[in-house]
Amino acid sequence: MKFFLDTADLDEIKEAASWGALAGVTTNPTLYSRIGGKLDDFHNHIARICEIVDGPVSAESVAMTRDEIVRDGRELAAIAPNVVVKIPTMVEGLAACRTLADEGIRVNMTLCFTVPQAILAARAGARYISPFVGRFDDISEDGLSQLENVVTAINNYDYSENTVNHEQVEIIAASIRSANHVTQAALMGADIATVPFNVLKKMIQHPLTDRGLESFLKDWEKVANA
Ligand code: E4P
């Protein structure tokens, strides 16, 4: 499993990148607004993220028609070679995905909740598909089993004939709220988890690690003073 950071915050991205385990970044309009992002600085901001991270950086189109999404997608993809155009899973989004994939532009289909949505996204040439886990939990449904269904259904077939350079479609477990979401997503074989920084911090923590470290340091002090 690979990890992406789900944020538009440059300090969080720099910090997570310094840990040595970060493979990419996903942003969305809410995350950009949360850092006080301005419309006319959006492309520059994505460029700044791409300077920090070599891996895929998802930048979302908020256009609602296929032609506008394609126009947006071309502009976003021109920012840096590692930009992935994030497009909502809807009819206009599918059509735009097909056009962009045919032009060699990688697409991450977002706001995906069901198996049929995911299959259509894969057939339309999506390089990444992002099923949302936490938002199902928010409405008292089981987001993890929905994710598992998508992982199984996508892995039952080979969709690479539809993608840019025939790369394998990868599932990004999105809307992740906890380290346990990450554990379960990894066990079911999701390719990537995109996690908020607070979840990433929790993923490295365990009280037994802290306790073990404390006793190693204490015992080493004895060695040093012997
Ligand atoms: C996916 O790429 C989205 O940015 C994200 O995971 C949404 O998560 P949320 O439901 O916590 O907003």
Ligand 1 in reach of 132 Cβ (< 6 A): yes
Q: What is the pLDDT of residue 168?
A: 96
Q: What's the confidence (pLDDT) of residue 211?
A: 98
Res 144: pLDDT: 98
The Cα-based distances of 117 to 24, 43, 124, 133, 197 in angstroms read: 24, 29, 11, 15, 28
Q: Is 7 in the pocket of ligand 1 (CB under 6 A)?
A: no
Distance (Å) from CA 217 to ligand 1 centroid: 39
Helical spans, DSSP H, in the chain: 10-18, 29-34, 42-52, 66-77, 91-102, 115-123, 134-138, 143-155, 179-187, 197-203, 207-225
Q: CB of 113 closer than 6 A to ligand 1? A: no
d(CA 27, ligand 1 centre) in Å? 8
Confidence at residue 194, expressed as pLDDT on a 0 to 100 scale? 98
**Domain architecture of the chain: domains with CATH:** 2-225 (3.20.20.70)
**Does residue 104 come out as left (phi exceeding 0), alpha (psi in the -120 to 50 range) or beta?**
left
Catalytic site residue 14? no
Lowest mean pLDDT among 143-147, 161-165, 197-201: 161-165
- pLDDT (tens digit, 9 = 90+) per residue, 38-84? 999 999 999 999 999 999 999 999 999 999 999 999 999 999 999 99
pLDDT in tens, 109-140: 999 999 999 999 999 999 999 999 999 999 99
Which of 2, 14, 38, 86 is catalytic? The answer is: 86
ipTM of the predicted assembly exceeds 0.95: yes
User: Nearest C-alpha to atom 11 of ligand 1 is from which residue?
Assistant: 175
Q: Cβ(28) to ligand 1 under 6 A?
A: yes
pLDDT-above-90 percentage for the chain: 100
Ligand 1 and 5: CB distance under 6 A: no
Ligand 1, atom 10, lies closest to the CA of 175
